[in-house]
Amino acid sequence: MEREEERDVAPAARGGAMGGGGGLAGGSDPRPCAGGPAAAEDAVAEEERRLAAVTAQLRAALARAEGLAGRVGASWAEASADLMASRGELAPEEAVHGSLELDRMGRQAALAEQSAERIARLLESPYFARVDFAADDAPDGPPLVASVGRFAFSWEGRPVISDWRSPVAGLFYDYEPGPAAYEAPAGRREGVLVRKRQVKVEEGRVAWAVDTASSVRDEVLARALAQGGGTRMHDIVASIQREQNAVIRDERPGTLVIQGVAGSGKTSVALHRVAYLLYRQKDRLSSRSVAIVSPSRVFADYISGVLPELGEEPVAQWSLHGLAELALGGVARVERPRSWADEADPARAARAAAKGTQAFADGLVAWLAAVTAPDAAEPLLVPRDFDLGSATVPAAWLAERFASLGAIPVAERLGILAGDALAQASAASFGRAAAALPTRREVRARLLRMLRARDARALYRRFLADTGRSALLHEPARGTVEWEDAFPLLLCRLALEGPPRAPELAAVRHLVVDEMQDLTPVQHAALARLLPCDKTLLGDVSQVVDGRAPVAPEAVAAAYPGARTVRLTRSYRSTFEIAQLAARVRPDAGLEPAPRHGEPPRLIRCGDTRGAVDAVGRAVGAWRAAGGRTLGVVCKSDLLAARYAAVLAAEHPVTLVTDETDAFPAGIAVCPVRLAKGLEFDDVVILDADARLYATEADRGLLYVAVTRAMHRLTVLYRDEPSPFLA
Ligand SMILES: Nc1ncnc2c1ncn2[C@@H]1O[C@H](COP(=O)(O)OP(=O)(O)OP(=O)(O)O)[C@@H](O)[C@H]1O
């Protein structure tokens, strides 16, 4: 048994709550196979026998865990009632001791319940794979046999199931039968993978078991992909592909940028990576120190089940807007982002476009560096002599000291300056003058008045004025900034004040940013400085939905010091036929379809709204007949989605997806493209795919997103003339 894997005992076992028997051990090591490889034995029959044994152990462990949870819960209730009853009679130290004891029992009960819950989930499907590994360092012994499952489980001190994240499970994801190796805690173990078996357990029975070669591997993947979509994203532990596994198990610190074509599993991979890092870096990371920036509330709900499915606590999810408001607390409120496809105000659109460029971001970063640099031509501080007690603090000294503090945020520099000035003044003052010396805070306030720009907003205005961009500033309401000004303002705040003190932000040690292509260069620059922690950024530069031109992932990575970039090109979501259409819409995306076939997409001319509604009705009929669970009716803009939802509601039960939608609806969802992004539906109907609506390069990106939302069937409707991108 490997030491490292012992570390990962289930919470209940770790706390001693499981008692001496079985429990969830967070990573079991392979155990010797009693009979050695039974090549001739029928895989299913063999697995049935193994499953029966494992199930019996799991049942016994469950009974113990539930019994323990019940006993600890009952003791807790009794102790709590005693404490309440004797309140007022206890000495303070007895009361403190009593409540500490209660807390301890409460934690123990929670761990026992969590353990029971995991065992119950393992009972549904204990493991999905088995690897038999003959290690070079044990040539005469039997091969090690490890069953790989969602969680680890041990019985009577012996590992039974290995967690999918354990080192030995890497054999399953990374190798075909033949020479193989894994990183055991004691060092690298070389050897031969003598068997790799995939097992599907359904309702307590072995549905199938196959000894795999890569062709079978594809078949297993195909089975997973052929299933209908639901309203929640699911884990993919049983069919993680090798290129995905490399990303998931990449533990190097810093920033990892994942550029992946539509449906390549980026979101799945990022969530599995979080689960992997939480498992591997327990001392450093917890669910409270990981946060995800996701594009919409409906998307946040869609992905929210994956980490709990993998046995981890949910992590904080912020929208970019929520993050901006948090980081700008006390400086400004932030207007909500607006839909580019619905923007009717050309001046507003022009302002947004100007602030979305690399040049704008570079200009602001360079300007801030220049005005806050020690050798700034026009330093931010315009010092004056001022009296402090019996002393005069000379302007020249202030200027020199301010400059010498270099890269420290300006507000912090002023604090240091105030302290130094006071120290000098108190040394030189005596009597009444010494007694009347102001506080450091008051001195700092006087210094603050010597700044050219006293707050982030003033600094931002100065930047715009200095660079001839003042016309770009428009305040929608007092104290509120336009969405596109939020992150430039944040950069100014960071330069002036340093990182904001919000505890939610300070806790983050790993940040995941989904749909990274939605962020403008200035947003990336601000994010890199706001949260200088490890990051996983993922997205697809071909799926920009706000009118900007696609940028290379390397350009995104450039905003994060030392970031590395990885590309995923194989697409898993859509059938081959749908993926082929997507590749025609966006040939530059480099999408490689997975070999899963289905009906060819239908391109239908429908003339007018009545024709469109009828065609949607036929698509709904086909979707129902196929037993689909989700159907997306995708429109170019929010306004169109709202209009069509109203019309379609007369004939079908539909849900309109808006910014306020916080749960992915089952059934028929009418969605603007920008909110469909990141989601997937069994079937998709795209409305108004006409040449007049999808004409520009920016529209091409929208159409690509719409097409790639479909898993099984796609219907594309147009009124008069189809978009040239569909040719
Ligand atoms: N290895 C895999 N095994 C089974 N299903 C997979 C695998 N990889 C991806 N999928 C499935 O493919 C679909 C797309 O995955 P996901 O949403 O993570 O991709 P994405 O790259 O984030 O997509 P997009 O950018 O288009 O929103 C999901 O249904 C996911 O479960």
Query: 386 falls in which pLDDT band (50, 70, 90)?
Result: confident
DSSP 514: S
pLDDT surpassing 70 at residue 217: no
Find out whether the beta carbon of 221 lies less than 6 Å from any atom of ligand 1.
yes
pLDDT surpassing 90 at residue 372: no
What's the rounded Cα separation, in Å, for the pair 589 and 114?
44
> ipTM score here?
0.99
Is the pLDDT higher at 169 or at 222? 169
HEC assignment per residue over 377-421: CCCCECCCCEEECCEEECHHHHHHHHHHCCCCCHHHHHHHHHHHH
Measuring from atom 26 of ligand 1, which residue has the nearest CA?
A: 262
The model's pLDDT over 95-116, given as tens digits with 9 standing for 90+, comes to 778 778 888 888 888 888 888 8
What tokens were used for 84?
């309440």
Greatest mean pLDDT among 18-27, 206-215, 649-658 lies in 649-658
What's the rounded Cα separation, in Å, for the pair 192 and 40?
19
Measuring from atom 12 of ligand 1, which residue has the nearest CA?
A: 573
Find out whether the beta carbon of 262 lies less than 6 Å from any atom of ligand 1.
yes
Measuring from atom 3 of ligand 1, which residue has the nearest CA?
A: 239
Residues 515, 294 contacting (CB under 8 angstroms): yes
Find out whether the beta carbon of 712 lies less than 6 Å from any atom of ligand 1.
no
Nearest atom in ligand 1 to the alpha carbon of residue 234 is 31
**Whole-number pLDDT of residue 506:** 92
The model's pLDDT over 299-330, given as tens digits with 9 standing for 90+, comes to 999 999 999 989 899 999 999 999 999 999 88
Least confident among 24-28, 279-283, 423-427: 24-28
Measuring from atom 15 of ligand 1, which residue has the nearest CA?
A: 265
- Spacing, Cα 185 to ligand 1 middle (Å): 32
Work out the percent of the chain whose per-residue pLDDT is above 90. Answer: 57
- Spacing, Cα 676 to ligand 1 middle (Å): 14
State the Rg of the chain over Cα: 30
**Whole-number pLDDT of residue 327:** 95
Query: 139 falls in which pLDDT band (50, 70, 90)?
Result: confident
What tokens were used for 303?
């992905």
A 10 A CB-CB count for 587 gives 10
Region 692-702: mean pLDDT is: 93
Measuring from atom 29 of ligand 1, which residue has the nearest CA?
A: 573
Find out whether the beta carbon of 239 lies less than 6 Å from any atom of ligand 1.
yes
Q: What is the pTM of this model?
A: 0.86
Which residue from 646, 652, 341, 352 is spatially nearest to 488, judged by alpha carbons?
Answer: 352
Region 252-268: mean pLDDT is: 96
The model's pLDDT over 417-434, given as tens digits with 9 standing for 90+, comes to 889 888 888 777 666 666
322 is in an annotated binding site: no
Work out the percent of the chain whose per-residue pLDDT is above 70. Answer: 92
Which whole-number Å values give the CA distances from 421 to 258, 427, 447, in the listed order?
A: 50, 10, 10
- Spacing, Cα 621 to ligand 1 middle (Å): 26
Mean pLDDT of the chain: 87
346 contact partners, CB below 8 Å, separation of at least 6: none
Residues 57, 34 contacting (CB under 8 angstroms): no
pLDDT surpassing 80 at residue 220: no
Region 255-265: mean pLDDT is: 96
125 is in an annotated binding site: no
- Spacing, Cα 236 to ligand 1 middle (Å): 9
Find out whether the beta carbon of 517 lies less than 6 Å from any atom of ligand 1.
no
What tokens were used for 315?
């992590």
Nearest atom in ligand 1 to the alpha carbon of residue 540 is 25
Instruction: Name residue 722's amino acid.
Output: P
**Whole-number pLDDT of residue 323:** 95
Residues 18, 10 contacting (CB under 8 angstroms): yes
What's the rounded Cα separation, in Å, for the pair 699 and 543?
10
265 is in an annotated binding site: yes
The model's pLDDT over 445-494, given as tens digits with 9 standing for 90+, comes to 888 888 888 889 999 999 999 999 999 999 888 889 999 999 999 999 99
DSSP assignment of 207-272 equals: EEEEE--HHHHHHHHHHHHHSPP-SS----GGG--HHHHHHHT---SSEEEEEE-TTSSHHHHHHH
Instruction: Name residue 608's amino acid.
Output: D
What's the rounded Cα separation, in Å, for the pair 146 and 30?
4
**Whole-number pLDDT of residue 83:** 75
Q: Which helix (H) or strand (E) holds 325?
A: helix 320-327
Region 290-296: mean pLDDT is: 94
Sign of CA dihedral 334, 339, 345, 348: positive
Which whole-number Å values give the CA distances from 515 to 151, 266, 529, 589, in the listed order?
A: 29, 9, 19, 15
Residues 247, 566 contacting (CB under 8 angstroms): yes
- Residue 593 sits at φ, ψ, to 5 deg, of -70, 145
**Whole-number pLDDT of residue 218:** 64
196 is in an annotated binding site: no
Q: Are strands 681-686 and 630-635 parallel, antiparallel or unpaired?
A: parallel
**Whole-number pLDDT of residue 57:** 94
Q: Which helix (H) or strand (E) holds 181?
A: strand 178-184
Q: What is the dihedral of CA 355, 358, 363, 369, to 10 degrees?
A: 120
